[in-house]
Structures are given as C-alpha cells and as structure tokens.
Structure 1
C-alpha cells in the first residue's frame, strides 16, 4: 500500500487548518504557501473534503475554510479513506470485493488479513489532534 500525494496533502492541509484555527476561516492560498503545495491541487482536495462534510466553506473577501468538527473527531484513517479509497493491502480484502475472485491460499490470505488489521488499527487509532500534539512536540509550532 502506498499513500498518494492526495492523501498526504489532505492530512497536511487538515493539520494546517487545525493549527491555524483562530476563529476565522483559513484561506487556501495561505495553506498552500505554508505547506509549499500547489493552490490548484489543494483546491481539488478542498472540494473533496467539503463534499464529504469535513470542511465548511465561508465565502467572501474574508472567506476560507474551517474544520466542521474538533480535531479529535477526525481519525486519520477516515481522511485517508476519503482521499485514497480502500487502504486494504490486496484487492480481495476491499469492501466491495467479489469473494469468487479470491485466488489467495489460506496462508497468504491470513497474512494479508493480519496486515490489513494492522493498517486499520494504526490509521484509525490516531486523530488530527494527535498530529497537532506531535507537531507541537517537534518544536515546529504554528502559534500565531
């Protein structure tokens, strides 16, 4: 399994929004500048996050985006699944997989299931709030 730039940038963007939440909307161009990510690419990710109800769009000259929920309510797994789709290491473990297409033998399937459970346990046990804490501990403090 490999996380694409879309998933990685979505996590960075959500973290940036959480760290810069001062009660005012955050502009995409500001996030793009801080994170050194293309504005056009971020706009695509923002559209996905808004449609999913993760972000709220505020229009106007003072507009921008805000998190809909608190950082502790966003699991990193939910953000990654939204941007990446399934995180299953093999196709046969994806939610919509046809059981008839499973060509794995019992031993290898057991390994893939264990790997899938390990991935789920990690991505679903951490939240955006955990990323914020780690960012602060790293000393790269975004406090304005």
Structure 2
C-alpha cells in the first residue's frame, strides 16, 4: 500500500478497501457494502474476516477472543465497547467467539479467555489476558501503538 493510504478489511463483508490516511478520521465506508470501516463499535467477526483483517490490515486491530458461557468475557464486553468508542480513530475493535470457531483458538494457542490480541500491519503486537476495565484496555492499546 502507498504511504498515504492504508489497506482496511471491512469487518462486515470482508472486502479489502484502500483508505487515504487523510480521510481515516472522516468515517470512511466500505466500497462494497457501505459499512463504516472505523465506527468505534465492536464488530463480531467470523474466521474468514478475522484471518483476512489480522493478516493484511495496515490499521491497528484489537480482537477479543471470548465465549458466551464465559462470565468474565460477558462482564468485560461493555468495557471493551467503551474502549472501542474512545479509541475510534486509533484502532478498530472486533470479537470472535472461540466456541463457534475453535480452530482460531487452537491456531493461536489460546489457553484462556477473555484474551485481547492487538494486530497491526499483519503482525501480532501484544496480548492481554483476563477481564479488564476500559481504562486498562485503552492504556494497553496506546502503549503498543
């Protein structure tokens, strides 16, 4: 990608988009489905979109690995959403259900949930395990960007 543009995978449809960096904060939309690419909300993704976004995106992406039966995961969900809204222009937020997509957990060697993994430019940057308040999630993302 050129230095003045970033590759961003739509977390709704999986389409790769080229976003001019100057317009990143202006609410760019997917060229295919029209979904906002940096909405400040947490997107629930499937394994295909997860893999595409974590391997190819130029913008930071933090993924919450969780399961519906996990009490701490459910407790952290509103805090993760608060952090997503706060860091809307800095990083995108997604979550993937490890019970529905167990192959992701196996491949990433996830031993416990909730687990947050921060990716940027196709690389895993850092991990943060356990349920955390929004302030700790935000500090984690800022520390590694």
What is the TM-score with the length of structure 1 in the denominator? 0.27
Higher relative contact order (CA 8 A, sep 6+): 1
* Structure with the larger helix share: 1
Q: Which has the larger radius of gyration?
A: 1
